[in-house]
């Protein structure tokens, strides 16, 4: 768990229920030996700034490019993208995608919606909070969920992103999916 | 509201918004330039208001909701969430702020109360509310009215952290105490706390508030912020402490750093280095009863 800012505890609680041992990553050394890394929801500008200052930006990138599995939720999805439509901010750039921050509007437009997700038999309730979406994705990125034409869930070789927050629900299927399909645990 | 299979304004979406702010610093700003400084420094949100609490104290008069023009200017200037304050009980100010699409409303004792007996019925709004509290009972009453986030009141605009400490200890200590009570005792404790029984029971079973708990009121230094985090706050509001100090740019970044690394004294020491003068503080004993903002609301 990247534990610089955001809803870290919510992910940790679910991971513990699923029987894996969460580690809170605050420093470069914490990344060693991890089976996967979750970048939680939060403020992407704040997390991005702390990633740069702590030296974690480069370390997370090299963790990923050596095959380390990563899942970004909301702010984590913004940070995983290679570019934003709204200008400069530090990004991890793990996925060939153009992200629109706050793509559904301000907080009064935040919403819940049942989504069809590729590979899920039953719909999954997406909790969208000032959520982003991918406007466009490049080769190697598989779209697994949409709201209208907006891409809200996608997956690559060793990466998963969701614009919504499975960690705010009691439905653990996305956490299981990450552990099984991306971390190969 | 349900539209196109999408439900807005659910409690999960409102309280979830505050969950995304955890571990962060929310800064009071009075114009777009300050908002940009706050965002640049790593603030997770800004609170748009006309005067910081220290100036409200100094200038006196009735303090009200900010000018929509000013709020709009700040919304234009930054991409992080923008919060704004409504007077306690002034539900029309809250309606106006909702129409302006602010991301969170603070029903705040820093402004002059509009209703001495009633707080706003927050559950009917689509926009979420944060409210101040001095103890656990007050926090649960506000949650009962629909608040999706709680903050300690502290004593805003004093640069003195003592009241924020008192309130955080009262809230967190109250939560710990509920954990050791048995079922018969919980109803009695709900009576003593003057709080809804269902919420008292939830807190007893879960060992925390059902919403995010921030701290506010008198935080002026990186060490103040780290202190409040170690006392159990999920995050920090800083009001006058930044823009009433000698070097707001450095102090804003330093308070963010100390909040992120609140368990690491070396990092807090590093963040505290060479910040220039902190805001001038006020001793609680020097405040008259009428000047104490935390007594507003119930």
Residue A19 above 90 pLDDT?
Answer: yes
Assess contact for B104 and B149: CB atoms under 8 A. yes
Would A66 be classed as within a structural domain? yes
Look up the pTM and report it: 0.96
Instruction: Encode pLDDT of A150-168 as tens digits.
Output: 999 999 999 999 999 999 9
Residue at A1 is within a domain:
no
- Does residue B209 form part of some domain? yes
Task: State how far residue A84 is from chain B, nearest Cα, in angstroms.
Answer: 12
Q: How many CB atoms lie within 10 A of CB A143?
A: 14
- Residue A149: give its domain's CATH number: 3.40.50.880
Q: Is the pLDDT of residue B163 over 90?
A: yes
pLDDT band at B162 (very low <50, low <70, confident <90, very high): very high
B89 touches B113 (CB < 8 A)? yes
Please provide the average confidence, as pLDDT, over all residues in chain A.
Answer: 96
Quote the number of domains for chain A: 1
Using an 8 Å CB-CB cutoff, list chain B residues near A49.
42, 256
Measured between beta carbons, which residues in chain A are less than 8 angstroms from residue B102?
Answer: 106-107
Partners of A71 in the β-ladder: A38, A160
| Tokens describing residue B2 | 């349900």
Domain-embedded: residue B47:
yes
pLDDT of B2 strictly over 80: no
B85 is catalytic: yes
The torsion region of residue B47 among left (phi > 0), alpha (psi -120 to 50) and beta comes to: beta
- Residue A104, in any domain of the structure: yes
Q: What is the CA radius of gyration of chain B?
A: 18
Number of domains making up chain B: 1
CATH assignment of the domain containing B36: 3.20.20.70
Residue B58 is part of which domain span? 12-279
Range of the domain at A158: 8-182
SS3 B265: helix
Residue B298 resides in a domain: no
Contact call for residues B129 and B107 (beta carbons, < 8 A)? yes
- Residue of B14, B85, B122, B244 with catalytic role: B85
* Helices and strands, number each (H, E), in chain A: 5, 10
Looking at residue B50, what is its pLDDT? 87
What distance in Å separates the CA atoms of residue B224 and residue B231, rounded to the nearest whole number? 11
User: Per the CB < 8 Å rule, is B17 touching A26?
Assistant: no
Looking at residue B277, what is its pLDDT?
A: 87
Residue B12 has pLDDT above 90, yes or no: yes
Segment A26-47 shows an average pLDDT of 96
Kindly report the average pLDDT of chain B as a whole number: 95
Q: Is residue B289 part of a domain?
A: no
Q: Is residue B292 part of a domain?
A: no
**Closest residue on chain A to B38 (Cα):** A46
Q: What average pLDDT does the segment B34-40 reach?
A: 97
Residue B169, marked binder: yes
ipTM reported for the complex surpasses 0.90? yes
Q: What is the 3-state secondary structure (H, E, C) of A32-92?
A: CCCCCEEECCCCHHHHHHHHHHHCHHHHHHHHHHCCCCEEEECHHHHHHEEEECCCCCCCC
The answer to whether residue A2 sits within a structural domain is no
Residue B57 has pLDDT above 90, yes or no: no
Place of tokens 């009453």: B141
Average pLDDT over residues B142-152: 98
Average pLDDT rounded to a whole number, residues B252-274: 97
Residue B182 is assigned to a ligand binding site: no
Q: Count the alpha carbons within 13 Å of A9 in the hemisphere toward its beta carbon.
A: 10
Alpha carbon distance A167, B229 (integer Å): 23
> B16 and A43: CB-CB below 8 Å?
no
Chain B residues inside the 8 Å CB shell of A162: none
Nearest CA in chain B to A53: B257
- CA-wise closest residue to B296 among B140, B97, B111: B111
At B289 the pLDDT is 86
Is residue B166 domain-resident?
yes
| pLDDT confidence tier of residue B185, bands split at 50, 70 and 90 | very high
Backbone angles phi, psi at B248, to 5 degrees: -55, -40
């Amino acid at each position: 768990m990247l534990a610089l800012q955001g809803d870290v505890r919510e992910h940790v609680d679910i991971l513990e229920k699923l029987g894996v041992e969460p580690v809170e990553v605050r420093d470069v050394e914490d990344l060693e030996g991890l089976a996967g890394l979750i970048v939680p929801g939060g403020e992407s500008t704040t997390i991005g700034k702390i990633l740069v200052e702590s030296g974690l930006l480069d370390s997370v990138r090299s963790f990923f490019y050596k095959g380390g599995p990563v899942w970004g939720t909301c702010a984590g999805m913004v940070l995983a993208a290679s570019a934003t439509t709204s200008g400069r901010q530090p990004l991890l750039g793990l996925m060939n995608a153009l992200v629109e921050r706050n793509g559904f509007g301000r907080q009064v437009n935040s919403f819940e919606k049942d989504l069809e997700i590729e590979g899920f038999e039953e719909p999954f309730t997406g909790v969208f909070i000032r959520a982003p979406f991918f406007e466009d994705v490049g080769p190697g990125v598989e779209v697994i969920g949409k709201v209208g034409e907006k891409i809200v869930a996608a997956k690559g070789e060793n990466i998963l992103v969701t614009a919504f927050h499975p960690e705010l629900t009691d439905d653990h299927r996305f956490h299981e999916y990450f552990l099984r399909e991306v971390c190969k645990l | 509201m349900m539209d196109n299979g999408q439900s807005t304004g659910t409690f999960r979406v409102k309280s979830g918004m505050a969950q995304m702010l955890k571990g962060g610093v929310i800064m009071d700003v009075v114009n777009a330039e300050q908002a940009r400084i706050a965002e640049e420094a790593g603030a997770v949100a800004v609170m748009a208001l006309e005067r910081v609490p220290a100036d409200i104290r100094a200038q006196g008069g009735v303090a009200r909701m900010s000018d929509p023009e000013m709020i709009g200017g700040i919304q234009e200037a930054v991409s992080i969430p923008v919060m704004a304050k409504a007077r306690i009980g002034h539900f029309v100010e809250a309606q106006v702020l909702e129409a302006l699409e602010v991301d969170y409303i603070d029903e705040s004792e820093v402004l002059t109360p509009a209703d001495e007996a009633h707080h706003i019925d927050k559950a009917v709004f689509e926009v979420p509310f944060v409210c101040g509290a001095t103890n656990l009972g007050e926090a649960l009453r506000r949650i009962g009215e629909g608040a999706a986030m709680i903050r300690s009141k502290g004593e805003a605009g004093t640069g003195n952290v003592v009241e924020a400490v008192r309130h955080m200890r009262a809230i967190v200590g109250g939560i710990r105490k509920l954990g050791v009570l048995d079922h018969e005792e919980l109803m009695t404790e709900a009576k003593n706390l003057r709080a809804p029984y269902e919420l008292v029971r939830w807190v007893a079973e879960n060992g925390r508030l059902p919403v995010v708990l921030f701290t506010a009121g008198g935080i002026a230094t990186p060490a103040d912020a780290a202190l409040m985090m170690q006392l159990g706050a999920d995050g920090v509001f800083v009001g006058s402490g930044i823009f009433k100090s000698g070097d707001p740019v450095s102090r804003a970044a330093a308070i963010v750093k100390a909040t992120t690394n609140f368990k690491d004294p070396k990092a807090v020491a590093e963040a505290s280095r060479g910040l220039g003068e902190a805001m001038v503080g006020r001793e609680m004993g020097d405040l008259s009863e009428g000047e104490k903002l935390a007594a507003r609301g119930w």
